Structure 1
Amino acid sequence: MKFLAAALVILLVLLQYRLWLGDGGMREVYRLRAEIEVQREQNSGLKERNRTLAAEVQDLKKGTVAIEERARTDLGMVGRGETFYQVVEPKAAVQPAPSPPREPDKDEPARVMQARAAN
């Protein structure tokens, strides 16, 4: 009887190990559930994008409003009876950089005296 009880305890421990830590165990199930949730979020975003694109295709096929909007934004077109105004921001005037101070020549006092004498 003791042998049977010991065998059952060992079997229980092995099954618990496999359940919690082995391949296909609870740890892997939790990881796979997290991956599924991430994939569902990506799918919902893609479904919304597909709905938006389908609506845009329908507008382009049936309506002129979408075509006109595209022509205005992408091609810069203007409708009949409209006036186009373009606002240009004024640029700041570019100031020339100050010239570096020059070094005086050795002969400068003599040239200044000659220039004064000539006047």
Structure 2
Amino acid sequence: MKSLTIIFVVLVALMQYPLWFGKGSWFRVWSLNQQIEIQKKTNNDNQIRNNVLNAEVSDLKQGFSAIEERARNELGMTKQDEIFFQVTNPEKDKKETEVLNNTKAKN
């Protein structure tokens, strides 16, 4: 009787092995679910960034005000007979530079 119990315990353990350690194991499913969540977050962040870029592209295509604003802010351009004063915040500029550098490093 004792040997029969041991045989059944061994058989149950052998049947449980694929469930815990095999190709479709619980650990593998959990790991894949974690990867899926990370990928969903990455996809969501990229979708938000793409929406911002699409809005910027459509704005540039539709009117000259966006082009003028960009020329003023990024290139420091002015109209004829116009005086342009640009006040900068060194700490904000430093943070923006760090964000741009981090973005470039990721790509």
Q: Superposition RMSD on alpha carbons, in Å? A: 2.6
Aligned length: 87
After superposition, the Cα gap between the structure-2 partners of 1:83 and 1:57, relative to the gap in structure 1 and judged at 3 Å, is same
Q: Where in structure 1 are there 5+ consecutive unaligned residues?
A: 88-119
Which structure has more helix as a fraction of its residues?
2
Q: Where in structure 2 are there 5+ consecutive unaligned residues?
A: 88-107
- Aligned residue in 1 for 2:31: 31
1:37, CA displacement in angstroms? 0.5
Give the alignment's TM-score, normalised by structure 1: 0.60
After superposition, the Cα gap between the structure-2 partners of 1:86 and 1:10, relative to the gap in structure 1 and judged at 3 Å, is closer
- Aligned residue in 1 for 2:94: none
1:17 maps to a residue whose letter is Y
- Aligned residue in 1 for 2:21: 21
- Aligned residue in 1 for 2:48: 48
Aligned equivalents of 1:85, 1:12: Cα separation in 2: 80
Instruction: Give me the identity figure in percent.
Output: 48
